[in-house]
Amino acid sequence: MSPIRAPLLDRVRYPEDLRNFSPEQLRALADELRAETVDAVSVTGGHLGASLGVVELTVAIHAVFDTPRDRLLWDVGHQAYPHKILTG
């Protein structure tokens, strides 16, 4: 498996970094995050559908809210995979 090319995702050190991205960059970041999620789940196993269903939501939450000051609660753990990728 070849590494995912993710130039925007590579620029994210902290969730608040997303607040500096343009709307177009946020859409592209969601695409990169989706590819990274698929890649990670294909290696480790897990529930892919719930993760892919919240990619745009995860990007939007971190772009708008002040996480971790603003608390974020996921319904189930496998919805949090994209969040975990963004937050380390």
The domain limits of the chain are 7-87
Count other Cβ atoms within 10 Å, centred on residue 79: 18
CA distances to 32, 55, 64, 80 from 47, in Å: 18, 14, 26, 11
The structure's pTM equals 0.87
Query: Per residue in 59-80, pLDDT tens?
Result: 999 999 998 899 988 887 778 8
Residue 22 or residue 81, greater confidence: 22
Average pLDDT, the chain: 89
Q: What local confidence, expressed as pLDDT, does residue 63 receive? A: 96
Q: What local confidence, expressed as pLDDT, does residue 26 receive? A: 98
Mean pLDDT (whole number) for 10-38: 95
